[in-house]
Structure 1
Amino acid sequence: MKSLNKDELQIAEGVLLKHMPKCAKVYGYLYGINRNKPTTLEVVVDSWPDFKVIICRPDPKNRRALEFMKKVTYYCMDEQVLRKMLTEENAIDWSTYFLIGGFDFSHSSMLKEVSAVREVNNRGYTLVHLLYLPDSSSLITPAVDSELESRISSLNLSHVDLVNKTWKFGGNERALKNITNLISNFPSCCITDGQGQPLAWILVYDYCAMGLLYTLPEHRGKGYAKVLISTMSKRLHAEGYPVYCFIEEENTLSYSLFKSLGFTENPSYRAGWFEFNY
């Protein structure tokens, strides 16, 4: 097992690009790290340069890592190699609570077996669709009049409390720090009222997926979400970001919305989130 340095992270990003979109979450983390976005992660591989498994995990040498939820993600081209890393090479710290997110759900049985051997409890957190926009020509753009266009803006730090209060995983100090980081360092888009206050918004997570899409209840039904997704997608493509999102299985409204704008998926693929030591 090897921890990647700055030059190797650049090479790994190029390798993963050929495996999009299934590696999207790891690719997104690497994309941010390689453009000097703040990170608390360490990236390890089974071997170098021909790796079969790449894992993003909390960096034990980074003190700020303690401020955030302990999150792990990986991309795997060989399940047996991944099993070996998890069982024999301590690729993950199994001693405390952590979440593995965005993994290929076909690995769920193996993850359960490995955690059972280590006597660590686990449970499925959520199952999601991975929706991807490979290029901007696939995007179906809604019509936007000049008045609405003049109200499209970006979020700033004065909006952190509003986003935290309305986010379903928000309302706490840890989420507040997370949202502050996202607004400070990643693209965002909002539609404002006449006083410049956000009525609807979308952010980009630190793994570059679009998320936290929200419209205040009294302003729904006006097509704001379509405008936000379309505007953000164009911006991300123009700046070289991957353009994708994870939609929870039960969220049929958001799934239909992204599909209607040209996002595609592999119908046989699902991504999962598991939590351990909960």
Structure 2
Amino acid sequence: MKILNREELQIAEGVLFKHLPKSSVVYGFIYGINRKKPSTLEVIVDMWPDFKVIICRPDPKNKRALEFMKCVSYYSLHEHILRKMLREENAVDWSTYFLIRGFDVSDATMIKQVSSDKEVNNRVFALLHLLYLPDSSHLLAPAADSELQSRVSSLNLSHVDLVNNTWKFGGNQQSRMKIKDLISYFPSCCITDGQGQPVSWILMNECCAMGKLYTLPEYRGRGYAKILVSTMARRLHTEGYPVYCFIEENNMASFKLFKSLGFIEDPSYRAAWFEFNF
């Protein structure tokens, strides 16, 4: 195995770009790292430069990595090599709680087997659709009047607690630190009320996926989510980011929303999140 340096990460980004959308999670992490976004990850490959497996994992030398949930992401072109890295080469730390997020669900049987061999329990954390927008010409943006457009802006640090307390996985200090980082360093979009306070918002996660879309209950049914998603997507395309999101399988409202705006899905790919040592 090899840990990639900054120059090699630039090359890896170009390689992964050719494998979008299936490589989106790892591509998104590396895209952010290459643009000096804060990260607690290191990136390893099975070989260089013709790698078949690339893994993002917590960097043991990064002190901030201890402050966040341990998460691993990978993109693989060769199941046997991936299995060997996970089982024999200790590509991940099997001794503590962690998540593997955004991997192709077709690898689930192999992941479960390796986990069993390591005597580590595992379970499905989430199954998700990956929806993406290849380019801005696919975007079916809704019309918005000038008054509403005047209330579209970005989140700032005074909004951290609001987002944290309404996020389904939030409400704690660890999630608060995460959201603070996302608002500080990644694009976001919100719609405000007459007093300038956000009533609907969307963020970008550290893997450059759009997420945490939320509208306060009393403001729902006004089309705010469509305005936010289309505004954010257009901005991300302009700035060169990948434009994609993950939608949980049972969240049909969000699935239909993104599809109605022109996002598409690769039918051969379904993403999974697994947790270990829970």
TM class by smaller structure:
over 0.9
1:152 is aligned with what amino acid? V
SS in structure 1 of the partner of residue 60 of structure 2: coil
Give the match for residue 29 of structure 2.
29
Give the match for residue 69 of structure 2.
69
Q: CA deviation at 1:268?
A: 2.7
Alignment partners' CA distance in 2, 1:60 and 1:268: 35
In structure 2, the gaps of 5 or more residues are none
Give the match for residue 273 of structure 1.
273
Alignment partners' CA distance in 2, 1:184 and 1:228: 18
1:187 is aligned with what amino acid? P
Q: Does residue 16 of structure 2 align to residue 16 of structure 1? A: yes
Give the match for residue 106 of structure 1.
106
Alignment partners' CA distance in 1, 2:246 and 2:185: 20
Give the match for residue 198 of structure 2.
198
Give runs of aligned pairs for residues 155-170 of structure 1, distance below 5 A.
Answer: 155-170=155-170
Alignment partners' CA distance in 2, 1:238 and 1:268: 28
Post-superposition Cα deviations, 1:20-49, rounded to whole Å, max 9, x if no partner, equal: 000100000000000000100000000000
Post-superposition Cα deviations, 1:114-149, rounded to whole Å, max 9, x if no partner, equal: 010110000011100000101000000100111001
SS in structure 2 of the partner of residue 51 of structure 1: coil
Give the match for residue 249 of structure 2.
249
Post-superposition Cα deviations, 1:27-76, rounded to whole Å, max 9, x if no partner, equal: 00000000000100000000000000000000000010000000000000
Alignment partners' CA distance in 2, 1:239 and 1:25: 18
Alignment partners' CA distance in 2, 1:266 and 1:62: 35
In structure 1, the gaps of 5 or more residues are none
SS in structure 2 of the partner of residue 237 of structure 1: helix
Alignment partners' CA distance in 1, 2:126 and 2:203: 20
Give the match for residue 180 of structure 2.
180
Give the match for residue 143 of structure 2.
143
Give the match for residue 118 of structure 1.
118
SS in structure 2 of the partner of residue 221 of structure 1: coil
SS in structure 2 of the partner of residue 37 of structure 1: coil
Alignment partners' CA distance in 1, 2:150 and 2:274: 42
2:165 is aligned with what amino acid? K
Alignment partners' CA distance in 1, 2:266 and 2:32: 25
Residue correspondences, number:
278
Root-mean-square deviation (Å): 0.4
SS in structure 2 of the partner of residue 83 of structure 1: helix
Alignment partners' CA distance in 2, 1:217 and 1:118: 45
Query: What is the TM-score normalised by the length of structure 2?
Result: 1.00
Moved over 6 A (4+): none
Give the match for residue 225 of structure 1.
225
Give the match for residue 50 of structure 2.
50
Post-superposition Cα deviations, 1:248-272, rounded to whole Å, max 9, x if no partner, equal: 0000000000000000001231000
